[in-house]
Structure 1
Amino acid sequence: MTFFSETIWFIPCYTLIGGLIALLWSPGIIRKTGSRPAGYINIVMTSMAFIHSVIALYQIWEKPAQELRFTWLEVAGLNISFDIQISSISVGALALITGLNVLCQLYAVGYLEMDWGWARFYALVGFFEAGMCGLVLCNSLFFSYVYLEILTLGTYLLVGFWFAQPLVVSGARDAFWTKRVGDILLLMGVIAIYPFSGTWNYNYLAFWANNSPIDATFSTLLCLLLIAGPIAKCAQIPLQLWLDEAMEGPLPASILRNSIVVAVGAYVLIQLQPVLEISPIVSEIVVIVGAVTAILASLIAIAQVDLKRVLSYIVSAYMGLVFIAIGTNHEQTALLLIVVYAVAMALLYMSIGTVIISNVTQDITLLGGLWKRRPLTGISFLVGTFGLVGFPPLGGFWILPRLGDDLPSSQPWLFAVL
């Protein structure tokens, strides 16, 4: 039965439909039932998307990648097509995204149980998840930019969820404008590359980059524009402050944003890796940005006393390691790092959520005795921590050494950073 593998393109539509249905409860169109059905419907739709992804992944495992193309606009020599790449990597990413979203939405049932914006939250999460699923399936630089813009808007709306609080409004605004800097530079790169390559398809861009050398100065400027968007999305220095400000939003939204959304920027960068190779200078810049962020963000995290801000800087630091892997041409390692990081960070955020909601504080200096008072939360927190630092037999134990194997001989200083 090949139904699931032939309809992979429909997976983003599950949560989009769920989000649209949830809107019926958000402005109060449906009043008699209360807003809780909006959450339950979204959980069911996301679960269906997860089941579809897992079955499809099983059916296409180790099969060659397939590409679907739909012409979106063709006028005056401009051909914009909507390209979809169906491979074990893209479908595996779908399974990861939908699976973590199911857990996040179940978590939100308890965390936001008494919140007045229940239906609006689930509607926004539905749109947010649809954007992430569409991005990992997309095989077009142009539409990848469109999806990144959808995620930027979703971040703004979810960070500003409690819009009656002044700090929330300023946090949402600052996060939006910081990401806009990277988005605008990326848009300039998207527009500039088309006259030379004649395409936005990632596969064709890779062929063009390998066979059509261009001026060194232009290639450097072009690649600098293309990496600006992922730098902002992954909260890398100097565009890292938005992630700190985004902590004002609901914690269930932070689970998605800090475990998955920041990683999709790195996913786009991995797709662009063949283009970035035409400029060795930019590849070095990617490595330097990742190394500087990994070191400085780690030091800043140590100095924080707010529990959520500690994790926000750890997110930036770990994404710095992913940038190092990409800049040193370890794309497969970068993908595996993203998978390990996403699961571990989601577990960490869920763990600290139980601490915050039961203690009504995020100040580490006022907390202590987690293992004694919340043993299950303590176990979850330790598992998430060990998964990030390479403790056997968890994921980081297998992936981090893989990154470090080739660094001592080629770039010893990066091994020291790792």
Structure 2
Amino acid sequence: MDQSLFSTSWFVPLYSLLGAILTLPWGTGIIRRTGPRPAAYINLLTTVLAFVHSLFVFNIIWDKEPEKLLVTWFKAADLDLSFALELSPVSIGATVLITGLSLLAQVYALGYMEKDWSLARFFALLGFFEAALSALAISDSLFFSYGLLEVLTLSTYLLVGFWYAQPLVVTAARDAFLTKRVGDLLLLMAVVTLSTLAGSLNFSDLYEWAQTANLSPMTSTLLGLALIAGPAGKCAQFPLHLWLDEAMEGPNPASVMRNSLVVAGGAYLLYKLQPLLALSPVALNVLVVMGTVTAIGATLVSIAQIDIKRSLSHSTSAYMGLVFLAVGLQQGGVALMLLLTHAIAKALLFMSSG
């Protein structure tokens, strides 16, 4: 049984996606007689299944070497669309954290949004959110990771703009979407460049290429800065930091997920890009400066806030600044420790803010 659970560990993100799909009849109003709560229970069930599955896999892989899985989506003639996945203690541990905190956020949302008329739609979006994050955790492909970051951008837009009848909510959702799009567009340029230079977008292949790569200083600098831009937008780092404060207009259970896990998703990708960023000393220096400025500046802004949620959101940016600083100093272990501890602490803080 253990081996079957391990071999199907790629299915963990699909639990949440399946829950989101099964919720649609309630979310779209096709089923009204029962009210929206069955949809919430379906999502809770699929999240529990994902959490238990990932926990079993984590127990199996704890003392083993990382393994690679190649999932072929479509293959015809010379076209081969495959997704590379990495099963390691770090990646599976991240899925345990994601599914566990998502389960807490959904239980919290049951009470927080009990009287909301569109509860089913909210849980469907949370399931969509969780599926993208879980897939990002085990992805071993930069192209696949980029696509998942785009899904997270869309999910952020939909969740921040959940109460779309309020003008401030619409403005906040639009600003969050457009700010993230700036970073995503620059990251896409880096992905296209790497596909040409390295010939592969799997992280393992990129690491081997980086050891022997001979790039001009200009090329390595521009490539490094473009790779930084995507995570900077996701992690609300200076100068792409203002969207996270405005995003507090959305429901608080979504803020639990966003401030603990979504920002960590961008920093997790930055952690995996360390060997590529090391090609450019300028890019590493930019990470140090960006992380330092955001950590100090966002902390000072957080102290001046009178709204607890906005104060916590700025503290999230400040904490992610420390992660950027650690990656810039090439301290990957410190960055990963900061990521995992911050996710748990910030989720509990947001659920305590009322």
TM over 0.5: yes
> For residue 5 of structure 1, what is the aligned residue in structure 2?
6
In structure 2, runs of 5+ residues without a counterpart are none
Distance 2:275 2:81 in 1: 21
> What do residues 23-44 of structure 1 show as CA deviations (whole Å, max 9, x unaligned)?
1101211122111000011111
Query: What does residue range 84-233 of structure 1 map to in structure 2 within 5 Å?
Result: 84-233=85-234
> What do residues 126-162 of structure 1 show as CA deviations (whole Å, max 9, x unaligned)?
0010000011111101110000000000000000000
> For residue 366 of structure 1, what is the aligned residue in structure 2?
none
**What value does the CA root-mean-square deviation take over the aligned residues?**
1.3
Distance 2:349 2:273 in 1: 30
> For residue 342 of structure 1, what is the aligned residue in structure 2?
343
Deviation at 1:74, TM superposition (A): 6.6
Deviation at 1:3, TM superposition (A): 2.1
The verdict on how the C-alpha distance between 1:78 and 1:270 changes in structure 2, with shifts beyond 3 A counting, is: farther
> For residue 352 of structure 1, what is the aligned residue in structure 2?
353
What amino acid sits opposite 1:258 in the alignment? N
Deviation at 1:80, TM superposition (A): 4.7
Distance 1:130 1:78 in 2: 26
Distance 1:80 1:327 in 2: 33
Query: What does residue range 62-77 of structure 1 map to in structure 2 within 5 Å?
Result: 62-72=63-73
What amino acid sits opposite 1:149 in the alignment? E
Distance 1:167 1:195 in 2: 43
Say which is worse superposed, 28-37 or 158-167, in terms of deviation. 28-37
> What do residues 243-271 of structure 1 show as CA deviations (whole Å, max 9, x unaligned)?
01111000000000000000010100111
Distance 2:275 2:76 in 1: 28
Larger Rg: 1
> For residue 25 of structure 1, what is the aligned residue in structure 2?
26
The verdict on how the C-alpha distance between 1:288 and 1:77 changes in structure 2, with shifts beyond 3 A counting, is: farther
> For residue 16 of structure 1, what is the aligned residue in structure 2?
17
What amino acid sits opposite 2:21 in the alignment? L
> What do residues 274-324 of structure 1 show as CA deviations (whole Å, max 9, x unaligned)?
000010110111111001100000011111111111001000000000111
Secondary structure at the counterpart of residue 107 of structure 1: helix
Distance 1:258 1:144 in 2: 19
Deviation at 1:336, TM superposition (A): 1.1
> For residue 288 of structure 1, what is the aligned residue in structure 2?
289
Distance 1:211 1:249 in 2: 46
What amino acid sits opposite 2:128 in the alignment? F
> For residue 358 of structure 1, what is the aligned residue in structure 2?
none
Q: Percent same amino acid at aligned positions?
A: 55
Distance 2:14 2:319 in 1: 31
> What do residues 40-92 of structure 1 show as CA deviations (whole Å, max 9, x unaligned)?
11111101110111111001112011111134567897755310001111000
Distance 2:208 2:221 in 1: 18
> For residue 48 of structure 1, what is the aligned residue in structure 2?
49
Query: What does residue range 235-250 of structure 1 map to in structure 2 within 5 Å?
Result: 235-250=236-251
Distance 2:241 2:76 in 1: 39
The verdict on how the C-alpha distance between 1:78 and 1:293 changes in structure 2, with shifts beyond 3 A counting, is: farther
> For residue 260 of structure 2, what is the aligned residue in structure 1?
259
Distance 2:256 2:344 in 1: 10
Distance 1:6 1:89 in 2: 17
Secondary structure at the counterpart of residue 290 of structure 1: helix
In structure 1, runs of 5+ residues without a counterpart are 354-418
> What do residues 363-394 of structure 1 show as CA deviations (whole Å, max 9, x unaligned)?
xxxxxxxxxxxxxxxxxxxxxxxxxxxxxxxx
Q: Which has the higher contact order (CA 8 A, sep 6+)?
A: 2
The verdict on how the C-alpha distance between 1:242 and 1:182 changes in structure 2, with shifts beyond 3 A counting, is: same
Secondary structure at the counterpart of residue 238 of structure 2: coil
Say which is worse superposed, 2-11 or 12-21, in terms of deviation. 2-11
Secondary structure at the counterpart of residue 191 of structure 1: helix
TM-score (norm: length of structure 1)? 0.83
